[in-house]
Amino acid sequence: MNSRSSDPAGEPLSLPVDAPGASPTRRVLVVYDSQDARSILKLLLTKLGHDARTAEDGHTGIAIFKVFQPEIVLCDLMMAGGMSGYAFAKAARAEGALEGVCMIAVSGLEGPDYEHQAYAAGFDRLMKKPLGLSELQAILKSPPRRTDCGNGENTN
């Protein structure tokens, strides 16, 4: 069974919801200050068969996490609302219950300095915007884990 949708560029996507070898159903929290980005990611995640919730800022993201207990968090680094993605990750990891959660920073920023800052804040991986469908499916199938948040190394 395939669901039809469009990606942000308007190209049609064929999303195999019940394809063999598809990722298990995941609980995913999307923390993004852009309404459009939140809506698109939630739509894609839902079409892929996952349970997705969204938060428009880091403070709301922390509150939702405590109740929803996601397995994966997708978070923008540069958000309005008084809490950056870096601050969100630090606060989320300080909660303790987030220890096993895969946290992915999604940003237009790239380079070793941004990557190091993301890992130091508690993210498992920094991914470049726009996050592609194949990248999203890979994360959902096998969430990456960091081995040392201080030096930016991680595993798949």
Q: Is residue 16 part of a domain?
A: no
Output the pLDDT for position 149.
41
Q: Is residue 7 part of a domain?
A: no
Q: Which domain holds residue 134?
A: 25-155
Phi-psi region of 74 (alpha: psi -120 to 50; beta: other; left: phi over 0): beta
Q: Is residue 19 part of a domain?
A: no
- 39 touches 69 (CB < 8 A): no
Q: What is the CATH number of the domain that holds 94?
A: 3.40.50.2300
Most confident residue range from 86-90, 93-97, 111-115, 131-135:
86-90
Q: Is residue 8 part of a domain?
A: no
Q: Is residue 124 part of a domain?
A: yes
Q: pLDDT class for 97, splitting at 50, 70, 90? A: low
CA-based nearest residue to 123, from 74, 58, 79: 74
Cis peptide before 8 (omega within 30 of 0): no
Q: What is the 3-state secondary structure (H, E, C) of the chain?
A: CEEEEECCCCCEEEEECCCCCCCCCCEEEEECCCHHHHHHHHHHHHHCCCEEEEECCHHHHHHHHHHHCCCEEEEECCCCCCCCHHHHHHHHHHCCCCCCCEEEEEECCCCHHHHHHHHHHCCCEEEECCCCHHHHHHHHHCCCEEEECCCCEEEC
Most confident residue range from 18-27, 51-60, 86-95, 145-154:
51-60
Residue 81 has pLDDT above 90, yes or no: no
The number of domains in the chain is 1
Least confident of 4-8, 30-34, 139-143, 146-150: 4-8
Q: Is residue 1 part of a domain?
A: no
Mean pLDDT of 87-105: 83
Tell which wins on pLDDT, 84 or 149: 84
For the stretch 5-53, pLDDT in tens is 444 444 344 444 444 445 679 999 999 999 999 999 999 999 999 999 9
Mean pLDDT of 112-130: 90
Output the pLDDT for position 150.
39
Q: Is residue 39 part of a domain?
A: yes
Output the pLDDT for position 92.
87
Output the pLDDT for position 98.
60
Output the pLDDT for position 104.
95
d(CA 65, CA 70): 6
Q: Is residue 45 part of a domain?
A: yes
Q: Which two tokens stand for residue 43?
A: 């739509």
